[in-house]
Amino acid sequence: MELLERPQGTEDILPASSAEWIALEDFLRRTALCFGFREIRVPTFEKTELFSRGVGETTDVVQKEMYTVSSSGTHTFTLRPEGTAGTIRAVLQNGLLNEALPQRVYYILSCFRHENTQKGRLREFHQFGVEMAGSPNPSADAEVISLAKQIIDDIGVKNVELRINSIGCPECRKKYQEALKAYFQPHHDTLCPDCKSRLERNPMRLLDCKNEKCHQIGKGAPEILDYLCDDCSQHFEKLKRNLGLLGIVYTIDPRIVRGLDYYTKTVFEFVTTHYNEKEKKQETLTVCGGGRYDGLIEQLGGQPTPALGFGMGLERMLMTLHQQGVTLAEPSKCDIYFVPMGEKAEEKALQLTASLRKDGIFALTDVVGRGLRAQMKYADKIGARFTMVIGDNELESGEAVLKNMQTGEKITMKLDETLPERFADIEIADRLTKE
C-alpha cells in the first residue's frame, strides 16, 4: 500500500541498527569535546532567505534542492539543506561572538535536499558539523582538519584521502575567474546547460561539475594556486606546515572549489575510494567537506569575523564502514528474562524485574500471560542472554536457577535483595569471556 511507503530518499533507522547510530553519535560528541567544541541545536527550518544568502544563490543546493514551504501566505520557510547557515544565525542572534573567541560549536542534525537519489545520496540525510569563529590564523584550519581526521581514523574508516586546496580571497579570485572564463569560453557549446550559466555567473563552479564532459574539459583549466596573493599563499604554506607537524597526510587538489564570494583560502575534502563490483569501476565519495568562509558572518549581517568549519555525512560514514566490514555496535540484547509460572510467581517476577532495572540491567518478564514453552520461545527469539524460571518450588525454597542461554550453564541463586548485584557480576563475567 502506497501509504506505507516512506518518501523516496528517506530512510528508517530501525531498532536493529539504531545502536550503531547511537555509538557513532556518542563517539562524535566525545571527540568534538576534546577539541573544545560544544553542541548547538538549531531549528529544522529557517527563513528561506537565510539559505539563499548563506549557502549562495548560484549553488545547486539553493537553485534546485531546497524544500520550501510558504506559511500563512506571507513567509517562506525552508527545511535546512545544511547546518552552517542556521548555526551561524543562532550564534549571531544569541550573541555568542561576544563570549571568549574563538567560539567553537558542533551539531548533529538531519538535512533535506531534493536530489536525484542514489547510493550515498539521500533526500534526508544526517550531518555532523563544526564551526569555529574568531580566528583568521591557519592554525585554526589545521585544528579543524585534525578533528575530522581524528574522527575518521579512530572510528576505523580506511582508505580515506584528505585533499586540500586554497581558493584565495576575493582579490586573488578576480584574476583567476577571468582566466577561467577565457579557458572555458571556446568550449562553450560542449558544456552542460548548468555550466553554460555558471560560466557567466560563477566560473569556479565549473570545476566541480559532475558531468563527465565538463569534468574532462576542466582537467586542463588554469589552477587557482597560481593566482594566490602573498597573504593567501603564506596562509596555505603555514597550513601545510601545521598538517605536516601533526603527521596528517594530504594531497593538493586544485579542483576543490566552493566558488562563493565569502569562501576564502582553505577548502578540503575527505574522500573514500572503493571498487564497485557491479559497475566494475573505482568510485569516490566525499564523506566530509569543509573550509574557511571569512566573508560569511558579515554576509549574514554580523560584524566581519573569520570563521571555518566542515560537514560530515553520517550515512556515508556508516556506508563506508560497512563496505569495509566494520560494525560499530551490536543491538542491545535482553540481559535476563524471568519466566513466571502461575500468579504468585508473576508477582515475584514483577518485583525482581523492577529491582534489576533499578540497577541498570536490561530485564524483562512475561506481560502477555504465556505458558512456559511460549515464554522460552519468546526469550530465545529476542536473544535473551539469561533466563530464570520461577514456579511454586522456587517460591517455596527462595532459590531459582539462572540459565545462560548460550552456554547452557546453570547457577542456583537466592531470590532476595542480593540478586541484582550477584546477577550483575555474573553478567559482566559472561561479557568478558566473550570478548
149 touching ligand ATP, by CB under 6 A = no
372, 364 in Cβ contact below 8 A?
A: no
46 touching ligand ATP, by CB under 6 A = no
Q: Which is nearer to ligand ATP, 108 or 122 (CB)?
A: 122
267, 166 in Cβ contact below 8 A?
A: yes
82 touching ligand ATP, by CB under 6 A = yes
Least separation in angstroms between residue 425's CB and ligand ATP is 44
- For 237, other C-beta atoms within 10 Å of its C-beta total 13
Query: Could you tell me the sign of the dihedral formed by the alpha carbons of 196, 200, 201, 203, in that order?
Result: positive
Inter-CA distances, 139 with 239, 252, 292, Å: 7, 18, 12
Q: Which is nearer to ligand ATP, 294 or 315 (CB)?
A: 315
Strand partners, 68: 78
Least separation in angstroms between residue 210's CB and ligand ATP is 7
Least separation in angstroms between residue 122's CB and ligand ATP is 4
83 touching ligand ATP, by CB under 6 A = no
Select from 28, 232, 243, 287 the one that contacts ligand ATP (CB under 6 A). 287
* CA-closest candidate to residue 214, choices 235, 187, 237, 234: 187
Segment near ligand ATP (CB under 6 A); pick from 218-226, 276-284, 307-315, 407-415: 307-315
* CA-closest candidate to residue 158, choices 25, 273, 44, 20: 273
Least separation in angstroms between residue 318's CB and ligand ATP is 11
Which residues are CB-neighbours of 10 under 8 A, at least 6 positions away? 122, 123, 124
309 touching ligand ATP, by CB under 6 A = no
Buried b (16+ CB within 10 A) or exposed e, 3-38: eeeeeebeeeeeeebeebbeebeebbeebbeebebe
Q: Which is nearer to ligand ATP, 127 or 165 (CB)?
A: 127
405 touching ligand ATP, by CB under 6 A = no
Inter-CA distances, 250 with 159, 206, 316, 403, Å: 12, 24, 20, 54
80 touching ligand ATP, by CB under 6 A = no
Contact mark string toward ligand ATP, 112..141, x via CB under 6 A: -x-x----xxx--x-x--------------
Least separation in angstroms between residue 258's CB and ligand ATP is 8
Segment near ligand ATP (CB under 6 A); pick from 71-79, 155-163, 286-294, 323-331: 286-294
Supply the DSSP string of 224-290, one letter for each residue.
GGGG--HHHHHHHHHHHHHHHHTT---EE-TT-----TT-EEEEEEEEEEEEETTTTEEEEEEEEEE
Least separation in angstroms between residue 315's CB and ligand ATP is 5
Segment near ligand ATP (CB under 6 A); pick from 188-196, 224-232, 280-288, 419-427: 280-288
Contact mark string toward ligand ATP, 339..358, x via CB under 6 A: --------------------
Least separation in angstroms between residue 287's CB and ligand ATP is 5
Segment near ligand ATP (CB under 6 A); pick from 151-159, 160-168, 310-318, 330-338: 310-318
Q: Which is nearer to ligand ATP, 289 or 340 (CB)?
A: 289
106 touching ligand ATP, by CB under 6 A = no
- For 413, other C-beta atoms within 10 Å of its C-beta total 16
Select from 199, 313, 340, 379 the one that contacts ligand ATP (CB under 6 A). 313
Select from 168, 291, 309, 311 the one that contacts ligand ATP (CB under 6 A). 311
Which residues are CB-neighbours of 248 under 8 A, at least 6 positions away? 142, 145, 146, 149, 162
Residues in binding contact with ligand ATP, number by CB under 6 A? 16
**Grid cell locating 396:** 517455596
Least separation in angstroms between residue 404's CB and ligand ATP is 42
Inter-CA distances, 233 with 121, 239, 249, Å: 35, 10, 20
Torsion of CA 212, 179, 252, 147, to 10 degrees: -90
Q: Which is nearer to ligand ATP, 256 or 415 (CB)?
A: 256
Select from 20, 141, 315, 394 the one that contacts ligand ATP (CB under 6 A). 315
Strand partners, 313: 127
Segment near ligand ATP (CB under 6 A); pick from 136-144, 313-321, 324-332, 339-347: 313-321
Q: What is the rounded distance in angstroms from the CA atom of residue 81 to the CA atom of residue 55?
A: 9
Amino acid at 105: V
Task: List residues binding ligand ATP (CB under 6 A).
Answer: 82, 113, 115, 120-122, 125, 127, 286-289, 311, 313, 315-316
